[in-house]
Amino acid sequence: MSSHVYPAPHFRSFEQQHEASELGMWGFLCTEILFFGGVLCGYTMYRLLYPQAWVHGSELNSLWLGAAMTVVLLASSLTMALAVRAAQLGQSKAIVGFLAVTIALGIGFLVLKGYEYYGHWVHHLVPGFNFSGYQAPDHPQVALFVVFYFFLTLLHAVHMIVGVGVLSVIAMMARRDRFSAIDHGPVEIAGLYWHFVDIVWLFLFPLLYLVGAHQ
Amino acid sequence: MSTRVHSVRFYVGIFAALLVLTVLTTSVAEIDLGAFNSPVAMLIAAAKATLVALFFMHLRWSGYRMRFAAIAGLLWLSLMFAFVLADVATRHIPEQPVGWNEAAASAARAPLK
Amino acid sequence: MTNPEWITEPLAPPSYLNNGYGWRSWFLTTDHKRIALLYLISITGFFFLGGFFAMMIRLELLTPQPDLLQSDTYNRFFTMHGVIMVWFFLIPSIPTVLGNFLVPMMVGAKDLAFPRLNLLSWYLFMIGGILAFSSIVIGGVDTGWTFYTPYSTTYSNTHVLWMALGIFIAGFSSIITGLNFIITIHTMRAPGLTWFRLPLFLWSTYSTSLILVLATPVLAITLVLMGLERAFGIGIFDPALGGDPLLFQHLFWFYSHPAVYIMILPGLGVESELISTFSRRNVFGYRYVAMASVAIAVFSFLVWGHHLFVAGQSVYIALAFSFLSYLIAIPSAIKIFNWMATLYGGSISFETPMLYALFFIGLFTIGGLTGLFLAALGIDVHVTDTYFVVAHFHYIMVGGMVVAYLGGMHYWWPKISGRMYPERFGQVSAFLIFIGFNLTFFPQFILGYLGMPRRYHAYAEGFQTLNVMSTAGASILAVGYVLPLFYLAWSFFRGPLAPTNPWGATGLEWKTASPPPTENFEETPVVTEETYRFPVREEMLV
């Protein structure tokens, strides 16, 4: 049973409201593509200009840590998809459970990320503060790679933190039986956002960790 | 909005495929494929992203508008990439035919002789 | 709280204006019409603030010597003028005021798809605006509105970060507004209102929104990169550290060139409505005009490199950008010719909005054609960074957009306020603006072609006559802008009551009361025919 606040008074029907909010989220994700895309464009341009520096730069990141983070995020996407499935079936308890696991995996990802940042800090690999940890060829260009590494992963981490916050709110709403089989738009919308942030990481992984792995 | 409900097994299957692709990309990265290193890595990433978008995000069953929104972002991004990278790639190609400068220089010197 | 008498008039039917009077009913409203009024008041404030800086610039340029302003102050003033006019007036002008007010009414809905986000967008806009404004108070910014690196990141000693933060936040307001329009037009159209029955204002608003949504995020991320570079010296745009300043220009113009179409497309939409109503004819070639809007939106993303012709980009890509810049003239010309064809044989009347519409055609044509000069590689080298460029984009942005905005405001004013404005005053100020505008900016074409560079507070003595003409025109223009402020404000409270459809126009917004009730329509309208079906015309056909 759910308290029927929907459809909001300016919509003619549930379908219209669902359609609007889902399309709204896709439109927002479209802006996110371009938001990340501007940085990725810079990344690609400099990679074309300094291929060797990019190889050296990505060797500063641990391949296995990156792969572990990828697996954690993929698992969180699975549980998110299952939470949406539970919402479609109107199973409030299952929504809360799957969301809790998703949030935990998201935080796990952030912890791994923090551990990785800590490593860079300890080894003086933070351009703008202290980049004395790297002393091999192409010094400024390698620093440029690390700048992109930090900027892209920080941008991604900010999105993760927002996602964890959003999912917490949704989980709270689900605990109060806010959703039903017909009326669970927010769960699906939050899910779209979470999967998108996952997709961004799927591209960041090869771009930041795999460039120099073959050497 | 997709009202179709899929089985848990279905989602786990997609997840397994994603894991396989992750293992694949990580191990392929250790092999030197020359010019193909990064295209292969990006291709696998794109495949993973497509799996997530089509099945986890239900794009496979969404209306044309959602697909349009998803594709519009990528299309516009590719425009940005295309022009910026085309600029970088061709910025230092000499604008005159090879030997032009020498020819022009000797022509300029000629009357002084 | 005691209400003024105009509110308590015994027969005033319930409308969005008399539905609550407390500050909460305005500042926490989710009614798109009230939000439109909030925007109207805010952007009017920004317009006159930006106008003040413009006036100071023109006064300084009255004489060749630096006398009124010194170079540092002058640099700050033209930056402020540019930033405020671009981001806090032109980009929000028609979309947030007329768009917010009209989009739901034109599609026959009760509100936009996301009313609370709409309110949020106004708050973000105001926060951004106040940040930008406060950067003036604490000392200003002198980089020009384009924030080119490395000047903005390395050399300028002014409050660049503060200003960039303001624009960054205001950018999200644009994104939300654009998304809201797109989703509303896609999902909330009244039964029977198919895409090719939409008023052309909606087509242009839709195209504008596409640009807002697809381009603004790139501006946001570019400003973040610029800010980080300035704060930490990380080298993304610094050649000494391997960076490339041209990357900034690419990213910036990937947003800002489409953004100049944000600053004209909505005007093209208003224009179609005005021309059709006041010549009482269906817009000639409706589908072509509609598709031209979408085409302009798409092409606008393919031409940004013409801002980099002399910046050192590849000559090959410059050739491509030059060619693509020419292409964008095609959809623009389609619109101009179709408006002419609409006028042909129409029964034209010259109310104030129509005067603005006719002025628009002339000014936009001049602005557009001089754009072709600038798209030509050879000529551009000669006139880059001269007053020719200044004159060109003012013909588009002021002669086009501001004129269309004022035309639209007069046209929909009876609907917005429920009152008629004084027609004679309207016509006088329209003529003042037309005369003042041309006197201000036409001499600048000549100045630029003769080689007077932009962004300098002093100039060679031979340029003085033309500069005096320009400053004289600016003062006429100022009077033309101040007049509507007073008579529109007066008519909001004291003007004669407006009928439901004072112009005999088509379109759903004219089928409900003036001012409209909070929920816009008594019941959801059903659309059964194309828009712009004028009864007179139909009788003539029979």
- List, for residues C17-26, the tens digit of each pLDDT value: 988 889 999 9
Q: Does A64 touch chain C (CB under 8 A)?
A: no
Residue A3 above 50 pLDDT?
no
Q: What are the φ and ψ backbone dihedral angles of A130, each rounded to 5 degrees?
A: -155, 110
Residue A4 above 60 pLDDT?
no
**B-contacting residues of A 139-198, CB under 8 Å?**
185, 188, 191-192, 195-196, 198
Q: For the ranges A76-85, C92-101, C234-243, C271-280, which has the lowest average pLDDT?
A: C234-243
pLDDT at B38: 87
pLDDT at B111: 61
Who has greater pLDDT, B16 or B4?
Answer: B16
Query: Is the CB of A141 less than 8 angstroms away from the CB of C216?
Result: no
Instruction: Let me know if C446 is exposed, middle or buried by CB neighbors in 10 A (0-12, 13-18, 19+).
Output: middle
Residue B107 above 80 pLDDT?
no
Residue A194 above 70 pLDDT?
yes
- List, for residues C188-218, the tens digit of each pLDDT value: 999 999 999 999 999 999 999 999 999 999 9
Query: Is the CB of C187 less than 8 angstroms away from the CB of A45?
Result: no
Contacts of A80 in chain B (CB under 8 A): 56
Q: Which two tokens stand for residue C56?
A: 């100071």
Query: Is the CB of C213 less than 8 angstroms away from the CB of A147?
Result: no
Residue A149 above 50 pLDDT?
yes
Q: For the ranges B81-95, C391-405, C439-453, C474-488, which has the lowest average pLDDT?
A: B81-95
- List, for residues C447-466, the tens digit of each pLDDT value: 999 999 999 999 999 999 99
Residue C317 above 80 pLDDT?
yes
Cβ contacts below 8 Å, chain A against chain C, sum to 99
Query: Is the CB of C218 less than 8 angstroms away from the CB of A140?
Result: no
- Sequence-distant (6+) residues with CB within 8 A of B16 are none
Residue C219 above 80 pLDDT?
yes
Taking CA atoms, what residue in C is nearest to B87?
C314
pLDDT at B94: 65
Contacts by A136-141 with C-beta closer than 8 Å and gap 24+?
A136/A56, A137/A52, A137/A56, A138/A50, A138/A52, A138/A53, A138/A56, A140/C235, A140/C240, A140/C241, A140/C242, A141/A46, A141/A50, A141/A53, A141/C242
What CATH number does the domain located at A14-209 have?
1.20.120.80
Query: Is the CB of C250 less than 8 angstroms away from the CB of B84?
Result: yes
B53: left (phi over 0), alpha (psi -120 to 50) or beta: alpha
Residue C432 above 80 pLDDT?
yes
The whole-number average pLDDT for the span C397-405 is: 96
Residue A30 above 80 pLDDT?
yes
Query: Is the CB of A74 less than 8 angstroms away from the CB of B22?
Result: yes
Residue B106 above 50 pLDDT?
yes
pLDDT at C6: 53
Taking CA atoms, what residue in B is nearest to C318?
B87
pLDDT at C54: 96
Of A30, A88, A191, the CB nearest to B73: A30
Who has greater pLDDT, A13 or B74?
Answer: B74
Q: Is the ipTM of this complex over 0.90?
A: yes
| Residue of C53, C38, C208 whose CA lies nearest to C124 | C38
* Separation of alpha carbons C232 and A143, rounded Å: 13
pLDDT band of C137, cuts 50, 70, 90: confident
Of B73, B83, B95, the CB nearest to C305: B83
The whole-number average pLDDT for the span C269-294 is: 95
Q: Does A114 touch chain C (CB under 8 A)?
A: no
Residue A96 above 80 pLDDT?
yes
Taking CA atoms, what residue in B is nearest to C297?
B76
pLDDT band of A1, cuts 50, 70, 90: very low
pLDDT at C11: 61
Instruction: Let me know if C423 is exposed, middle or buried by CB neighbors in 10 A (0-12, 13-18, 19+).
Output: exposed
Cβ contacts below 8 Å, chain B against chain C, sum to 44
* Separation of alpha carbons C268 and C335, rounded Å: 8
Domains in chain C (CATH in brackets) are: 30-541 (1.20.210.10)
Contacts of A77 in chain B (CB under 8 A): 15, 18, 52, 56
The whole-number average pLDDT for the span C26-38 is: 95
Contacts of A162 in chain C (CB under 8 A): none
Q: For the ranges A158-172, A178-192, C327-341, C462-476, which has the lowest average pLDDT?
A: A178-192
Mean pLDDT of chain C: 93
pTM of the model: 0.93
Who has greater pLDDT, C43 or A178?
Answer: C43
Candidates B62, B66, B76: best to mutate against C (most CBs of C within 10 A) is B76
Q: Does B80 touch chain A (CB under 8 A)?
A: yes
Residue A212 above 90 pLDDT?
no
Who has greater pLDDT, C506 or C392?
Answer: C392
Chains that touch A (3 or more CB pairs under 8 A): B, C
pLDDT at C440: 97
* Separation of alpha carbons C423 and C352, rounded Å: 7
Q: For the ranges A188-192, B106-110, C179-183, C252-256, which has the lowest average pLDDT?
A: B106-110
State how far residue C313 is from chain B, nearest Cα, in angstroms.
6
Contacts of B91 in chain C (CB under 8 A): 312-314
Q: Where are the domains of chain B?
A: 1-62, 64-113
Residue C470 above 90 pLDDT?
yes
What is the Cα gyration radius of chain B?
25
